[in-house]
């Protein structure tokens, strides 16, 4: 929802803080940038503006009853002491409560509090406490709604007479902001619309302060004009700058002003709504004003707490509703939940804002509104995990308490999705069904599913097979079922919702094959938004949507793609690859609109995918180029003020705006906007590849796809369809498109799908009555269920809320029917009425039936075909340790959330990723010990030295780290693997320690893991001692380590420093761990040693130290390293030859002359391993 009501306490704090700071309205015209969120200097008003107000909130959770506890016990025992505590805190924070007469009232979005006995006037503090105590925590019935009173405000009494009370309100409309003012305010203000003076501040027009008094204050004494003009100007400035959508003060009291004295203005009673989606512009300003109104918490930003939007009176936000609202705030998808009747038998889980409304309408239409348990929707491609959380919440709510004797229903429904992967979301639903299987069975829940859209076949198969395996009562349907057909089917057994194609008419022979899109007269072409020649820019990086458009173009046999290029300001000039049928094609990407328009002067349509934060600026820039005639705004959450500014500027420049908050539109055979129409299989099934005779306009994007399906089955198909968007101020309205359709000879009949909220549908009725629209019109407004709810319910779209009776769906349907428009009795009868009108047009030959052509074929993308399970290919890689394909990363079968929940640590993660299994705690602890012990061994070792030198050469961290790691091998770090191999092999072959030592001596091989430069038997290495102590205490077996210690006794008897060193201890202990922990077979243990797992531990551990050395050098800002020359032995070639016997010391020539070398040989300077470097003399003959 966009416009949301706030508490009076918050509204008055906004005024109190910002009225002195805003003397003139800002952000009124497009040329102005939105005001910053920072503070503004105080500009002293000509009236009193500060406000004293105390807020008293009582915790209703204290009245939750324990089993067997009575309400009176909870109220007297817990709640009343709590009430006294709140009173004491209020006294302490607001000492003025004790010294002045007061006014108190509930602050829970309740209207007409004075007339309903909810206003305590002229009370002292004890009187206020008594008045509130009598009401707090107790139920109160207001008209049809019953709720508990728990939040109150207390203010100083302002003594005044009736003639000082005025009324002022500001309300946003499509045309501008309308200021209402009457000289008579208070409880008996009466019909404001009839008696108030009005001043309209048109959208994008400057605010003229001089117009205030002549327009609004003609019945007010001139002595008060100055203060009132200043107040109204400042009030409107706050209204604009803080994105209010409605603000009412009644009464507004003005005292003084006579004889030159200063007038004082008091706003005694206030009701207000803010545009919630404007939080990114005004949220900081809201918070600043609330900073001193609420106690700070650790999570509160420094500039103040975020604005709170309370639930309507009588419907407190439940824990579950709050949880879903929190999920919704953290995702780009839409997740909404309102619990209407927790004891109801009918629960819904519907995808799409429009679909959620028609489902609720359908339930109410068969007389079961009282059984509707919830209203909500999920849409915008939520992830599997988000859908799981949403479904789990609903299943938990509906399976609480004792089972109902008649059972319950769960309708999992929705329209035909445009881009949401149905299978992916249904995987989340399936997870929830599995988790609540027994509860669903206990409560005898019957589940009916109807869904369509991308990959719906797999999604329905998944749901169906799950129901069978779990034994749940699940019925599953696809697009062959009318969108809400499962409801009468489930309740009454009515099967009429199963749709068929339009029946042929007796006596009417089918005509030719479906025609090509009609050739449009040049004079008419300028009036039409889309033709076969229409080309577009796509603003934003949207490859999936563009590919869908190109596939549609190819299917419709267009001569050229409908997308000329992309505009993406955040990247350089480049090209993107797409498919045109089976061939590849390239589309350019430009960084500016100016470049794109110069390159493609024929393009007149832009599909703007910019976000809600940037769509305003980008659209204003687009409208600076006269060639742009149509702009589709896809973004949801555009602030209402910005949307109005866009639409009025567009009207001035003669630019057609579709949206915001729209999926777009489609003209079969010609052009489609973005993701409209969904996947190609739906394009084919709804016959959108060729024109029909019916043009429609809808608010809902999801329902527009459903209309494509309905119209294709009831008539010869869609000629054009537009979703204008679900916001309160769409850029173009129903009448704009219906008048276009009226002028288009290809349109034979029209369809309107309106909804609750707004008054645009009445313009269609007027146009029909006045003869502006002569073609047949079928219409229906969704949201007829709204009148059946006892509390206000915000439906799926921001504009779906009736502010008066005239905005209800019921009133609109009645007016449309009275104007001569064909309106069905229920939404479910829509296909029948469409078919009737179509058949009438066929009989009178306005429509000539045609034979359906062979549906065109479009190649399917490899990735999508793979997801649908239509192809297979051998994988290039095999991975058995992790899986990142789902909604949660998996480590060897363990979800990442479980990794943290069970706190398995780094050792546990390593055991999963290296060994594919959970190891015992002592094993993971030992792994962590190894990493700590091998982390570093000082800067002098080869690896650390290389890292330091590379870092000082100015290289980056990765390069420096790699230079150090590349030194690890047989001579550095290799002792771990070597020691493990030598000792385990000797032990396994049954060699005694002495035999092992003797055998190694005979082979002239060193025993790896034995020996230390510094440490000895009398000066032991404490690292080794730590390892031995841990192993002997915790390992189930330590045979190889004990064997190694026996070897140590022999080697140290020869030389004191031939001890078991830390590398040997680690390697040998690791062998014992693998063999004794029970997680590995003997073969697996040996394999892990052979493939380098021990070396991996050393690499991982030593990387910690190498990174430390790199950071240390960078922190110390050490320069380029040059090795000192005095640490290098420089040898000339003759010195080298003499030292190795390769030449005579008396020879005057180097390497020359017979007999100067060793006879019969070649002089060798040195031999290292198997590598010989040859130098010196020629061999003698």
How far apart are alpha carbons 226 and 726 in whole angstroms? 42
CB of 1041 closer than 8 Å to CB of 1027: no
In angstroms, rounded to a whole number, what is the distance separating the alpha carbons of residues 801 and 809? 10
Count CB-CB contacts under 10 A for residue 994. 12
Structure tokens at 528: 């039409």
Structure tokens at 292: 């001193």
Give the active site residue among 443, 797, 1012, 1109.
Answer: 797
Instruction: Report DSSP letters for 343-397, one per residue.
Output: T-SEEEEEESHHHHHHHHHHHHHTT-GGGB-EEEEEES---HHHHHHHHHHHHHH
* 797 included as an active-site residue: yes
User: What is the DSSP code string of 259-270?
Assistant: GGPPPEEEE-SE
Cα–Cα distance list, 207 to 176, 549, 831, 1180 (Å): 11, 44, 49, 110
DSSP 816-879: HHHTT-B--SSGGGHHHHHHHHHHHHHHTTSS--EEPPPPP--PPPHHHHHHTT------S---
- State the angle between helix axes of 975-988 and 1062-1076 in degrees (0 to 180), rounded to the nearest 10: 50
User: What backbone phi and psi angles, to 5 degrees, belong to 272?
Assistant: -150, 155
Please report which helix (H) or strand (E) contains residue 423, including its range: helix 422-435
478, with CB counted inside 10 A (0-12, 13-18, 19+), is: middle
DSSP single-letter state for residue 1010: B
| Distance (Å, whole) CA 534 – CA 456 | 31
3-state SS of 875-918?
CCCCCCCEECCCCCCEECCEEHHHHHHCCCHHHHHHHHHHHCCC
One-character DSSP codes across 393-411: HHHHHHT-SSPPTT-EEEE
Contact of 501 with 713, CB cutoff 8 Å? yes
**Residue of 720, 527, 565, 536 whose CA lies nearest to 631:** 536
Closest CA to 1047 of 1094, 989, 998, 974: 998
422-451 in b/e burial notation, b at 16+ Cβ within 10 A?
Answer: bbbbbbbbbbbbeebbeebeebebebbbbb
Q: Report yes or no: 242 and 14 within 8 Å, Cβ to Cβ.
A: yes
Backbone angles phi, psi at 621, to 5 degrees: -65, -40
Which long-range contacts (C-beta less than 8 Å, at least 24 apart) are formed by 623-629?
623/649, 623/650, 623/653, 623/655, 624/593, 625/593, 625/594, 625/597, 626/653, 627/597, 627/601, 627/603, 628/597, 628/603, 628/604, 628/655, 629/529, 629/604, 629/605, 629/654, 629/655, 629/656
- Tokens 């604005």 belong to 307
Closest CA to 344 of 392, 389, 390, 401: 401
CA-CA distance, 1122 to 485, in Å (whole number)?
82
Q: Torsion over CA of 128, 129, 133 and 139, rounded to 10 degrees?
A: 30
For tokens 């080869």, the residue is 942
Please state, as a whole number, how many other Cβ atoms lie within 10 Å of the Cβ of residue 506.
Answer: 6
Q: Give the active site residues.
A: 797
């Amino acid at each position: 929802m966009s416009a949301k009501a706030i508490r009076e306490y918050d509204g008055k704090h906004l005024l109190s803080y910002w009225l002195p700071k805003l003397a003139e309205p800002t952000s009124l015209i497009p040329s102005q940038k939105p005001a910053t969120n920072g503070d503004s200097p105080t500009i002293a008003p000509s009236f009193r503006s500060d406000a004293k107000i105390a807020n008293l909130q009582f915790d209703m959770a204290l009245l939750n009853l324990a089993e067997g506890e009575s309400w009176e016990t909870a109220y007297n025992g817990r709640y009343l002491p709590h009430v006294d505590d709140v009173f004491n805190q209020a006294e302490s924070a607001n000492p003025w409560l004790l010294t002045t007469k007061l006014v108190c009232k509930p602050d829970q979005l309740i209207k007409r509090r004075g007339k309903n006995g909810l206003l305590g006037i002229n009370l002292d503090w004890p009187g206020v406490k008594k008045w509130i105590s009598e009401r707090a925590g107790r139920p109160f019935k207001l008209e049809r709604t019953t709720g508990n009173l728990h939040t109150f405000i207390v203010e100083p009494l302002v003594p005044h007479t009736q003639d000082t009370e005025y009324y002022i309100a500001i309300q946003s409309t499509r045309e501008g902001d309308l200021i209402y003012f009457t000289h008579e305010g208070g409880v008996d203000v009466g019909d404001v619309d009839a008696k108030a003076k009005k001043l309209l501040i048109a959208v994008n027009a400057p605010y003229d302060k001089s117009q205030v008094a002549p327009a609004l204050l003609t019945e007010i004494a001139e002595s008060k004009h100055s203060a009132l003009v200043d107040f109204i100007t400042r009030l409107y400035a706050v209204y604009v700058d803080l994105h209010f959508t409605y603000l009412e003060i009644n009464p507004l009291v003005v005292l003084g002003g006579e004889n030159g004295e200063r007038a004082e203005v008091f706003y005694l009673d206030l009701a207000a709504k803010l545009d919630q989606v404007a939080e990114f512009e005004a949220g900081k300003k809201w918070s600043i004003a609330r900073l001193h109104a609420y106690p700070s918490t650790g999570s509160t930003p420094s500039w103040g707490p975020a604005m709170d939007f309370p639930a309507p009176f009588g419907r407190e936000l439940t824990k579950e509703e709050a949880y879903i609202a929190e999920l919704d705030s953290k995702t780009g998808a839409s997740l909404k939940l309102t619990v209407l009747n927790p004891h109801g038998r009918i629960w819904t889980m519907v995808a799409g804002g429009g679909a959620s409304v028609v489902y609720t309408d359908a339930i109410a239409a068969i007389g079961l509104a009282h059984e509707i348990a919830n209203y909500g929707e999920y849409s915008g491609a939520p992830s599997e995990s988000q859908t799981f959380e949403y479904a789990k919440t609903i299943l938990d709510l509906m399976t609480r308490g004792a089972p109902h004797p008649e059972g319950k229903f769960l309708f999992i429904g929705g329209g035909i999705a445009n881009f949401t992967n149905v299978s992916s979301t249904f995987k989340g639903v399936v997870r929830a069904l599995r988790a609540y299987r027994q509860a669903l069975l206990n409560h005898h829940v019957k589940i009916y599913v109807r869904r369509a859209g991308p990959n719906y076949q797999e999604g329905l198969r998944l749901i169906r097979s799950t129901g069978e395996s779990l034994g749940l009562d699940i019925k599953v349907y696809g697009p062959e079922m009318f969108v809400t057909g499962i409801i009468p089917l489930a309740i009454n057994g009515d099967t009429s919702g199963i749709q068929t194609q339009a029946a042929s008419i007796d006596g009417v022979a089918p005509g030719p094959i479906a025609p090509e899109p009609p050739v449009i007269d040049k004079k008419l072409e300028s009036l039409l938004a889309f033709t076969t020649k229409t080309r577009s820019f796509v603003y934003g990086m949207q490859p999936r949507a563009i590919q869908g458009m190109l596939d549609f173009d190819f299917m419709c046999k267009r001569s050229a793609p409908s997308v000329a290029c992309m505009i993406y300001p955040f990247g350089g000039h480049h090209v993107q690859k797409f498919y045109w049928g089976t061939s590849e094609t390239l589309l350019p990407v430009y960084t500016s609109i100016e470049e794109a328009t110069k390159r493609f002067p024929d393009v007149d349509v832009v599909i703007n995918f910019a976000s809600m934060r940037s769509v305003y600026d980008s659209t204003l820039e687009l409208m600076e180029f006269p060639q742009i005639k149509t702009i589709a705004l896809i973004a949801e959450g555009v602030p209402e003020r910005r949307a109005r500014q866009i639409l009025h500027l567009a009207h001035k420049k003669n630019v057609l705006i579709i949206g915001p908050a729209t999926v777009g539109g489609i003209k079969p055979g010609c052009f489609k906007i973005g993701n409209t129409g969904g996947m190609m299989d739906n394009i084919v099934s709804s016959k959108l590849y060729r024109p029909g005779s019916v043009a429609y306009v809808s608010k809902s994007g999801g329902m527009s796809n459903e209309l494509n399906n309905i119209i294709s089955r009831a008539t010869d198909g869609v000629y054009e369809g537009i979703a204008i968007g679900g916001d309160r101020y769409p850029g173009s309205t129903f009448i704009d498109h219906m008048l276009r359709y009226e002028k288009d000879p290809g349109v034979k009949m029209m369809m309107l799908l309106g909804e609750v909220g707004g008054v645009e549908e009445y313009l269609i009725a007027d146009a029909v009555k006045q003869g502006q629209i002569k073609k047949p019109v079928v219409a229906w407004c969704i949201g007829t269920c709204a009148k059946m709810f006892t509390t206000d319910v915000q439906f799926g779209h921001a504009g779906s809320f009736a502010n008066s009776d005239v905005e209800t769906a019921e009133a609109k349907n009645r007016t449309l029917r009275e104007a001569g428009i064909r309106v069905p009795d229920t939404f479910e009868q829509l296909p029948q009425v469409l078919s009737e009108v179509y058949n009438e047009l066929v009989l009178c030959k306005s429509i000539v039936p045609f034979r359906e052509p062979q549906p065109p074929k479009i190649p399917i993308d490899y990735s999508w075909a793979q997801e649908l399970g239509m192809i297979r290919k051998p994988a290039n890689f095999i991975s058995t340790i992790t899986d990142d394909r789902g909604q949660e990363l998996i480590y060897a079968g363990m979800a990442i959330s479980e990794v943290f929940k069970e706190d398995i640590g780094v050792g546990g993660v390593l055991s999963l990723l290296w060994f594919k299994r959970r190891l015992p705690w002592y094993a993971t602890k030992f792994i962590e010990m190894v990493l700590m012990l091998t982390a570093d061994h000082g800067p002098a070792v080869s690896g650390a030295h290389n890292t330091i030198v590379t870092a000082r050469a100015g290289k980056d961290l990765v390069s420096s780290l790699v230079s150090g790691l590349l030194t690890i091998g047989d001579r550095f770090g290799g002792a771990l693997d070597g020691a493990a191999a030598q000792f385990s092999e000797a032990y396994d072959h049954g060699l005694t320690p002495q035999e092992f030592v003797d055998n190694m001596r005979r082979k002239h091989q060193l025993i790896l893991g034995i020996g230390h430069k510094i440490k000895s038997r009398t000066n032991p290495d404490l690292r080794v001692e730590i390892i031995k102590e841990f192993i002997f205490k915790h390992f189930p077996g330590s045979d190889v380590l004990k064997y190694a210690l026996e070897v140590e006794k022999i080697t140290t008897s020869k030389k004191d420093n031939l001890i078991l060193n830390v590398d040997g201890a680690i390697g040998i202990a690791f062998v014992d761990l693998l063999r004794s922990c029970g997680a590995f077979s003997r073969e697996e243990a040996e394999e892990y040693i052979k493939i380098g797992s021990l070396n991996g531990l050393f690499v991982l551990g030593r990387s910690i130290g190498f990174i430390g050395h790199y950071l240390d050098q960078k922190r110390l800002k050490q320069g380029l390293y040059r090795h000192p020359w005095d640490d290098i032995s420089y040898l000339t070639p003759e010195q080298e030859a003499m030292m190795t016997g390769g030449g005579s010391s008396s020879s005057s020539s180097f390497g020359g002359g017979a007999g100067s070398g060793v006879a019969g040989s070649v002089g060798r300077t040195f031999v290292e391993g198997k590598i010989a470097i040859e130098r010196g003399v020629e061999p003698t003959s």
